[in-house]
Amino acid sequence: MGNSAQGNGPLAGLRVLEIEALGPVPFGGMLLADLGADVVKVMRPGEPGGPRPHLPADLPTQGQQILDRGKRTLTVDLKDNDGRALVRTLASHADVLLEGFRPGVAERLGIGPDICLQAHPSLVYGRMTGWGQSGPLAGTAGHDITYLAASGVLGALGRQGCPPPVPLNLLGDFGGGALYLVIGVLAARQHVLRGGPGQVVDAAVVDGVTHLSTMIFGMYAAGEWRAEPGTNLLDSGCPFYDVYETSDRRHMAVGALEPKFYWEFVRLLGVAHAVPRHRDPSVWDEMRRVFTNAFRRRSQREWAAIFAGTDACVSPVATLPEVTTSSRAATRDTVISVDDVPQPAPAPRFSGTPCAVPRSATPLGSWAAQLIAEWVEET
């Protein structure tokens, strides 16, 4: 790869063409860019720096801009013959293409996998949807929360007697969606590097989220998981794996599952004498009352000091502003600043091919003669 590569991470030299979409696709492209890939994002026409006509007017633009870090962007009208021809040309020199259209849309635009793979048989064509490319719901709209609901995962969350909580869009869009898209295209690319042909990667949020819950499925099959939420070990049913309010109406998270961690926890909480039979579910209601009353006697700051540096598996529940300034984040550089905007650092970390701090997206303009020349020359 020449000087067009965006970084020196382990994916330096990988050319990725990303077609503009919401949620999982831009995060997947960002992750690849963080790891050193040369990611070029095709943007559809709209006001510079503002929302495009096909996106919600109230979309958080700063969040979208962070997802574009490390990428180069160009504006292409996919309804125009020349625009579609440009995308096909770029795809013929890319290693990976990412798109998030509903099934059939890319084909109608003339940039579907059949035509792209015919021109470039080693291309990995990554498709990201909520319901998948096939099935009774494939053509219908949805969002993170509806995919979680259909997968059964949303119904497994929450406290007993309460509606399931809304777990942001991390579990579906990014965990079950983008990460599986990235794993899929990298696996397919490895197949190409070993002499195989390119192929289509069908990544669906419902598939990924369901796969993420493999351990829970196993516990259910073994009779170790009840269908009613809030009654199990990891869903707030267990009092030593839960969240408690402090005197200042902040919270502490407790994850003291193993006996050695549990006994350290109750010792520091000052209630070891009151809850001796911690593995007996029949005493868990009383145990929860003991823990609740104890935590309400001190502020979050006081409890954080008491549990700091111990193996009690207790942590203060931090806010996002606190995380950007915490000593733990600063020590690991977990949160960095790009263009004065705090954001997560690239992850994971590599000893031999460290990832560079990402830069903001760089516009290339409406047409990409320079980009085409780079990719054609380096193919």
* Active site positions, annotated: 143, 173
Rounded to whole angstroms, the maximal C-alpha distance in the chain is: 76
**Helix, coil or strand: residue 363:** strand
Look at the block and give the residue holding tokens 């303009």.
365
H/E element, 374 = helix 369-378
Phi-psi region of 258 (alpha: psi -120 to 50; beta: other; left: phi over 0): beta
Pairing between β-strand 341-344 and β-strand 335-338 as defined by DSSP bridges: antiparallel
Task: Tell me if 272 sits within 8 A of 294, measured CB to CB.
Answer: no
Report the C-alpha gap between 275 and 288 in whole angstroms: 10
Neighbours of 3 (CB within 10 A): 6
Exposed (0-12), middle (13-18) or buried (19+): which is 324, by Cβ within 10 Å?
middle
Report the C-alpha gap between 65 and 43 in whole angstroms: 12
CB neighbour list of residue 160: distance below 8 Å, 6 or more residues apart: 228, 229, 230, 231, 236, 237
- Cis bond before residue 348 (omega within 30° of 0): yes
Exposed (0-12), middle (13-18) or buried (19+): which is 118, by Cβ within 10 Å?
exposed
Task: Tell me if 25 sits within 8 A of 18, measured CB to CB.
Answer: yes
Helix axes 144-151, 205-212, angle to 10 degrees: 50
Question: Which residue in 174, 167, 142 sits closest to 25, CA to CA?
Answer: 174
